[in-house]
Amino acid sequence: MRRAHSVEQVRAAEKALMASLPEGALMQRAAAGLAYAVIDHLGGAYGKRVVLLVGSGDNGGDALYAGALLARRGARVEAWLLSDRAHTGGVGALKAAGGIVSSGVISTGSITGDLVIDGIVGIGGKPGLRPEAEEALDVLAGVPVVAVDTPSGVCVDTGEVDGAHVTADLTVTFGTYKPCHLLDPAASACGKVQLVDIGLELPIPAIESLEAADVAALVPRPAPDGHKYTRGVVGLRVGSATYPGAALLAVAGANTGLAGMVRYVGTASEWVKRQHPEVVGDGQAQAWVVGSGSADGANSALAFARASGVPLVIDADSLRALNGPLGVPAILTPHAGELAALIREDRADIEARPLHYARLAAQRFEAVVLLKGRRTTIASPDPDTPVRVNTTGTSWLATAGSGDVLGGLIGSLLATGLAPIDAASAGAWLHGAAATLASAGGPVTASGVAAAIPAVIRSLPAVSS
């Protein structure tokens, strides 16, 4: 599990740790981790030209001490101080190691170099950059960037961006991930994120992201004496005469062997029987999936499923019928446009603030909300439950029908008895991993994603008993 903690949580943990360490020891730990990450990134230090962009915060101190270590390893290191309150000890250390220190931007023309280290703003900084920082980045445009802890100019706790910000090739962070490393749109500015352990003791995180071992622990395994009913029955009321393909794709997502039985009720029954002969008709289910391609039947499908009293996955057309809490456990799976229509907000604002709106919708409808996107955001109605962010997938997954597959897959996990937050987040992880496997670096179709799900499950690490 990758865990991301808020600025407040990190600061409290750092304060507690610093009370037990000699003064400056924690910064030295961080700076050493940063320096060695940079050396790995560059393939060595000797002869490399490194420019440090240094602000007034601790990130600037980290950059300066790391620069001193790089200078001692033979790098040519220059620090551009963008604040008159740069870390005094760090400045002295860099000068003592042979580094060059200048106040402000030292050139108005383009500069070549091997690397820029972004130590402009610390984790408490506000979104956006000051003019001197923007000028420095313009001068150094095209030079690879390593960000200290977080890219300067992004909102650390929300992942939002507002104005100019650093776009890094590598972000080296300390103690724990920060929300902006996982949440879009800021996550796309982080590049690869490398975590350096500095010994922090941390509470329950604000944000978390499943990894393969976590998914392996969640995926249901048949009991030795299990049968098709004990393994869970998932029902789907999806598709329509207009969109029969949505039914086929949703059923394909559900019919991957995770649940013991799949039921389908709808106008595409004959199509479903031809492609999935093991799928049966109406009857009791432990979870229902509704809405995908349902057109005019979406409202009645939701009403039936809701009356059954079992957990629901609500997608696409059935989302339009919602006006408040459902009274049963539910997972809503909108993309930004569908959520915008549901809560009457602007789509662009939802795409810019996915964490805010996923949480808002989860509270309003008292349901788990899976907001689809490059980094799918999954919020629980319980404010004490960490928001989950899915990081698997490929840009090729942006293809018609992939959401139908996801809805069916989540429904099958929900039918096996997983909690809604676990079914949604494990389903998103498997869906993204299946897309990556099926794509193999090239185009993929929704049908191909569904077909790859069993192989992804087989590849999960073994779970110790």
pLDDT in tens, 331-365: 999 999 999 999 999 999 999 999 999 999 999 99
Instruction: Check if the beta carbon of residue 457 is closer than 8 Å to that of residue 430.
Output: yes
Instruction: Check if the beta carbon of residue 169 is closer than 8 Å to that of residue 114.
Output: no
> What confidence tens digit (pLDDT) does each residue in 295-309 have?
889 999 999 999 999
394 known member of a binding site = no
Residues 300 and 153 reside in one and the same domain: no
58 known member of a binding site = yes
Q: How far apart are CA 245 and CA 253, in angstroms?
A: 12
159 known member of a binding site = no
Residues 233 and 165 reside in one and the same domain: no
pLDDT at 282: 95
Look at residue 233 and tell me whether its pLDDT is greater than 90.
Answer: yes
Residues 50 and 130 reside in one and the same domain: yes
125 known member of a binding site = yes
Domain encompassing residue 31: 2-208
299 known member of a binding site = no
pLDDT at 109: 56
62 known member of a binding site = yes
CATH of the domain at 74: 3.40.50.10260
> What confidence tens digit (pLDDT) does each residue in 392-417 have?
999 999 999 999 999 999 999 999 99
85 known member of a binding site = no
Q: Considering 173, 208, 243, which residue would you say is the last residue of a domain?
A: 208
Q: Answer yes or no: is 463 within a domain.
A: no
> What confidence tens digit (pLDDT) does each residue in 261-285 have?
999 999 999 999 999 999 999 999 9
- How far, in Å, are 45, 102, 236, 272 from residue 246 at the CA level? 55, 61, 11, 11
What is the pLDDT averaged over residues 15-30?
96
Residues 288 and 411 reside in one and the same domain: yes
Q: Answer yes or no: is 234 within a domain.
A: yes
118 known member of a binding site = yes
403 known member of a binding site = yes
pLDDT at 295: 87
Q: Percentage of residues in the chain with pLDDT exceeding 70?
A: 99
127 known member of a binding site = yes
Q: What is the pTM of this model?
A: 0.95
Among 120, 379, 405, 370, which Cα is nearest to 238's?
405
With a CB cutoff of 8 Å and minimum separation 6, the contacts of 376 are 370, 389, 390, 393, 428, 432
Q: Answer yes or no: is 465 within a domain.
A: no
Residues 284 and 399 reside in one and the same domain: yes
With a CB cutoff of 8 Å and minimum separation 6, the contacts of 457 are 219, 256, 257, 258, 430
Q: What are the start-end ranges of the H helices in 86-229?
A: 88-96, 131-139, 179-182, 212-218
CATH of the domain at 220: 3.40.1190.20
Q: Percentage of residues in the chain with pLDDT exceeding 90?
A: 94
The total number of structural domains that make up the chain: 2
60 known member of a binding site = yes
Q: Answer yes or no: is 426 within a domain.
A: yes
When pLDDT is cut at 50, 70 and 90, the band that residue 111 belongs to is low
157 known member of a binding site = no
Residues 63 and 138 reside in one and the same domain: yes
Q: Answer yes or no: is 254 within a domain.
A: yes
Look at residue 107 and tell me whether its pLDDT is greater than 80.
Answer: no
192 known member of a binding site = no
128 known member of a binding site = yes
With a CB cutoff of 8 Å and minimum separation 6, the contacts of 179 are 4, 6, 156, 157, 158, 159, 206, 207, 355
Q: Answer yes or no: is 464 within a domain.
A: no
Q: Answer yes or no: is 86 within a domain.
A: yes
Q: For the chain, what is the mean pLDDT?
A: 96
Look at residue 151 and tell me whether its pLDDT is greater than 70.
Answer: yes
375 known member of a binding site = yes
Residues 188 and 217 reside in one and the same domain: no
> What confidence tens digit (pLDDT) does each residue in 214-227 have?
999 999 999 888 89
Residues 218 and 185 reside in one and the same domain: no
When pLDDT is cut at 50, 70 and 90, the band that residue 106 belongs to is confident
pLDDT at 113: 87
384 known member of a binding site = no
- How far, in Å, are 89, 314, 334, 427 from residue 317 at the CA level? 60, 9, 10, 20
Residues 221 and 202 reside in one and the same domain: no
Instruction: Check if the beta carbon of residue 191 is closer than 8 Å to that of residue 171.
Output: yes
Q: Considering 208, 226, 255, which residue would you say is the last residue of a domain?
A: 208
169 known member of a binding site = no
What is the pLDDT averaged over residues 111-123?
91
pLDDT at 126: 87
Q: Considering 191, 208, 225, which residue would you say is the last residue of a domain?
A: 208
447 known member of a binding site = no
When pLDDT is cut at 50, 70 and 90, the band that residue 465 belongs to is low
At 147, is the secondary structure helix, strand, or coil?
strand
At 119, is the secondary structure helix, strand, or coil?
strand
DSSP summary character for residue 446: H
Residues 184 and 240 reside in one and the same domain: no
Look at residue 102 and tell me whether its pLDDT is greater than 60.
Answer: yes
Look at residue 108 and tell me whether its pLDDT is greater than 60.
Answer: no
Residues 99 and 229 reside in one and the same domain: no
Residues 15 and 94 reside in one and the same domain: yes
- How far, in Å, are 253, 315, 394, 425, 427 from residue 407 at the CA level? 7, 7, 18, 12, 8
422 known member of a binding site = no
The alpha carbon of residue 136 and the mean position of all alpha carbons in its chain are separated, in whole angstroms, by: 30
Task: Give, for 314, the enclosing helix (H) or strand (E).
Answer: strand 312-314
